[in-house]
């Protein structure tokens, strides 16, 4: 998901990235300008129009970020697309927000308020700029077609905002209208089913727009392409999230693994490591977990200080999980401690390990197998 977007800066402390489809916009604006004026397009005005759209998409997202903050949610990143943005929230902080909501509103009501704020920002800015343009004595111009054109930038400011407000209210997920639709569905079904239904409606709308655009205004095709790519973006994030939340560690932990003893010498440990696929090892004394150590740490210690005991170089501070913990919580523990292994214990006995290495593998596999099961149950 991230590889399709590039970082451009920060807004209110949130990482802002531009999705690659955004670069369709300058090409598209230039092309329509070129077709409209046989004498050639004006490159700098075209760029200015793209800049205007970018600014007001950002303003729209600022509305969402600030509103989310009021609900105690923390935005992690914003991905800007040509007509909309997708705000990703920090899930670990979100859980805390669930525990202690600042405003006593239901989840689906919160979603709807959060979605409405973006189009409202654009509507307000559109009206404001219309008033300014009218004040400059050019109000009559405002209602002449084409509304959005590089040749008349003040008018484009007004209409860019009005278009953004209206387009984002389309019931095509993840546009705001689609989020409202999903919130409505989620009153009677679980979150991932509601999202799937919203995404399929969204894909149908995208298809209709793309085809309609071929026979009328090509902007429609452009909108269709964007809606489609935005929906894929969310769908993938969702599959990932549902795997993180719904998979228990017992489903993915390695139960067949090698352990080391604190009394092992580093050379013995390296010898064992060579014969195992593992990069990380639990260190066990009798039936007690006493530490963790990585292949790399063994190598580094051998190089730096020569042979010694595992006891001396192992990491004695580590997190443990139980088999019912979610994959998401294991992931957070791993990243918080910057470690690469989590022992899974039961009655203080080591029953499995989860490592970063096997997590990546198993997540991809699980996402696939869930999708297969889902397709089967739907057909
Ligand atoms: Zn929005």
Residue 53 to residue 315: CA distance in whole angstroms: 52
Q: Which of 4-18, 74-88, 132-146, 262-276 shows the highest mean pLDDT?
A: 262-276
Element spanning 5, H or E: strand 5-11
- 342 CA to middle of ligand 1, Å? 38
Residue 304 and residue 143: Cα distance in Å, rounded?
76
H-run or E-run covering 53: helix 43-70
CA of 133 to the centre of ligand 1 (A): 25
Residue environment code for 129-138, b if the CB has 16+ CB neighbours within 10 A, otherwise e: bbeebeeeee
Average confidence (pLDDT) over 194-198? 85
Model pLDDT, residue 176: 92
Please check whether residue 330 is in contact with residue 339, taking contact to mean a CB–CB distance below 8 angstroms. Answer: no
- Report the separation in Å between the CA atom of 165 and the middle of ligand 1, taken as the mean of its atom positions: 9
166 in Cβ contact with 148 (< 8 Å): no
Within 13 Å and on the Cβ side, how many CA atoms surround 328?
Answer: 15
Between helices 218-246 and 191-215, what is the axis angle to 10°?
A: 160
As given in the structure block, the two tokens for residue 326 are 């979610």
Least confident segment among 43-47, 90-94, 292-296, 299-303: 90-94
d(CA 368, ligand 1 centre) in Å: 30
Sequence-distant (≥ 6) Cβ neighbours of residue 91 within 8 angstroms: 241, 244, 328
Contact 226, 82 (CB under 8 A): yes
Please state the rounded mean pLDDT for residues 7-30.
Answer: 82
Over residues 276-306, the pLDDT tens digits come to: 878 889 999 887 888 899 888 899 999 998 8
Cα 298 to ligand 1 centroid, rounded to whole Å:
50
Q: What is the pLDDT of residue 56?
A: 92
């Amino acid at each position: 998901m991230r590889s399709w977007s590039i970082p451009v800066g920060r807004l209110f402390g949130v990482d802002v990235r531009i999705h690659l489809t955004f670069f369709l916009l300058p090409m598209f604006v230039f092309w329509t300008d070129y077709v409209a004026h046989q004498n050639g397009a004006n490159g700098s005005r075209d760029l200015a129009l793209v800049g205007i759209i970018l600014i007001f998409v950002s303003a729209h997202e600022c509305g969402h970020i600030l509103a989310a903050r009021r609900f105690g949610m923390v935005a992690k990143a914003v991905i800007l697309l040509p007509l909309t943005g997708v705000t990703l929230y920090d899930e670990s902080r979100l859980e805390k927000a669930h525990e202690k909501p600042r405003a006593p509103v239901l989840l689906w009501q919160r979603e709807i308020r959060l979605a409405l704020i973006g189009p409202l920002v654009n509507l307000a800015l559109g009206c404001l700029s219309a008033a300014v343009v009218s004040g400059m004595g050019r109000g009559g111009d405002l209602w002449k077609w084409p509304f959005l054109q590089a040749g008349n930038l003040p008018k484009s400011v007004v209409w860019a905002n009005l278009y953004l407000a209206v387009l984002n209210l389309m019931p095509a997920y993840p546009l705001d209208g689609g989020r409202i639709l999903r919130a409505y569905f989620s009153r009677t079904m679980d979150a991932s089913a509601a999202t799937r239904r919203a995404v399929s409606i969204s894909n149908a709308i995208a298809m209709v727009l793309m085809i309609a655009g071929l026979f009328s205004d090509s902007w429609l095709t452009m909108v269709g392409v964007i809606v489609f790519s935005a929906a894929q973006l969310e769908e993938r994030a969702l599959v990932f999230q549902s795997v993180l939340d719904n998979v228990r560690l017992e489903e993915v932990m390695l139960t067949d693994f090698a352990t080391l003893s604190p009394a092992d010498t580093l050379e013995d440990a390296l010898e064992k490591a060579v014969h195992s696929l593992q990069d990380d090892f639990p260190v066990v004394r009798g039936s007690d977990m006493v530490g963790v150590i990585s292949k790399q740490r063994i190598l580094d210690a051998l190089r730096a200080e020569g042979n010694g005991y595992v006891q001396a170089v192992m990491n004695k501070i580590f997190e443990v999980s139980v088999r019912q913990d979610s994959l998401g919580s294991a992931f957070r523990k791993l990243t918080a401690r910057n470690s690469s292994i989590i022992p899974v214990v039961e009655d203080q006995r080591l029953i499995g390990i989860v490592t970063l290495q096997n997590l990546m593998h198993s997540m991809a596999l699980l996402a696939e197998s869930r999708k297969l099961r889902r397709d089967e149950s739907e057909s």
